[in-house]
Amino acid sequence: MCSTYGILLLLAQTQLRNGCTGLSNIHLLRICLRGGGGDRKIKFWNTHTGACLNSVDTGSQVCSLLWSKNETELLSSHGFTQNQLTLWKYDPSMVKMAELTGHTSRVLYMAQIPDGCTVASAPADDS
C-alpha cells in the first residue's frame, strides 16, 4: 500500500545526450522514499493521476536513491539492518541485480561520478 508520507523526488522524462538512452523511456514519475527504519519501501507514483504504480519492500531502511545516467537502473542506499547498496533494474518492475556490502553503519549519501559508471558512498560512521 502506498503512503503519502516521506521525501518526494520528482523525475521528469529525460532527454539524454551523448548517445545514452537508458532513461529516455521513463515517464514523469514521483518517487516516495519513506523516512525511518520501519517502512523499508521504495514507492513509484504517477504524478498525472496520483496513482501508486509500485511499492517495493527492500528489507532494510532506505536512506537515499540515485538514478543511473546510462541505464534504467536505480541504486538505493540502506541502513538498518544491512547497511548495503542495492542495484535495481527498473522495467517498470524492480528487479534486484546486486547488493554491495561493507559499510558498518547506514549509508546516508551517494554521488555519481560524471562518467555515470562510478558511485561514491558515505556512511554515518566514516567507514
**Total count of domains within the chain:** 1
Q: Which domain holds residue 113?
A: 7-123
Grid coordinates given for 14: 529525460
**Domain contains 88:** yes
**Domain contains 1:** no
Instruction: Tell me what the pLDDT averaged over the chain comes to.
Output: 74
CB 57 within 8 A of CB 50: no
**Domain contains 47:** yes
Tell me the one-letter amino acid at 34: R
**Domain contains 71:** yes
CATH number for the domain spanning 21: value is 2.130.10.10
| pLDDT of 100 above 80 | yes
pTM: 0.73
| pLDDT of 78 above 60 | yes
**Domain contains 2:** no
| pLDDT of 18 above 80 | no
The arrangement of strands across the sheet holding 94-100 comes to 62-67, 73-78, 85-90, 94-100
For residue range 55-65, list pLDDT tens digits in order.
889 988 999 89
